[in-house]
Amino acid sequence: MAEPLALTIDSLETPIGELLLVVDGEGRLRAVDWRDHEDRMLLLVRRYCGPRGCTLAPGRAAATAALGAYFKGDLAAIDRLPVASGGTEFQRRVWAALRRIPCGETVSYATLAKEIGHPSAVRAVGHANGANPVSVVVPCHRVIGADGTLTGYGGGLSRKSWLLAHEGAAFKSRAA
C-alpha cells in the first residue's frame, strides 16, 4: 500500500476570521476553509486522500503569503496558486470554471452550468460549488443568484458579502 500523503496545515488571520490552509509537499493547496469550519475541512481532506490516507502536520505554507496579500488588497495574488483538490470529474470542471471568473465579477449558477456545457445541471453545479474544498482561491463566493442576490456560502453569507465587496463585485443583499 502507498505511503500516506504528507500534508501541512497553516493558518492566517484575516479581517473576517482565521483561515486554514492545507498544502501538499509540492505546495499545492488541498483545502482552504475557516477555523470555525475546521471539522468539515478535515473530513473533506481525508475523503480526497482516499484509502491511501494522509498525515497532517503544522507548518508554514508559501500559499499563506499570497492569501495574506489578497486580504491586504493585492487581489491577483491568489490567481496562480496551484490547487490539487480531488473531486469527481464534474466537480473539477465546475471548480476550474470558478477559477476563470474574473475578480470583481459574479455569475449565476445557471451561467456557470452553461459555461461547463451542462445548461440543465444547475443544481449539480450548485452542489459542486458547495463541495469546493479550496474556498477563496477557487472563488465559489463569486456565484450568486440569478437575480443578483447572495446565495449560500459555506463560510457564511457575511463572509461572502465581505469577499465580494473586497473584490469590488456588484450584488444585492437579501431583504431581511
- Torsion 156-160-165-171 (CA) sign: negative
Average pLDDT on 128-145 reads 94
pLDDT of the residue at 154: 87
pLDDT more than 90, % of the chain: 77
Residue 48: pLDDT band with limits 50, 70, 90 = confident
Catalytic residue ranges: 140
pLDDT score recorded for residue 174: 57
Confidence of residue 173 (pLDDT cuts 50, 70, 90): low
CA separation (Å) from 11 to 27, 73, 111?
15, 18, 33
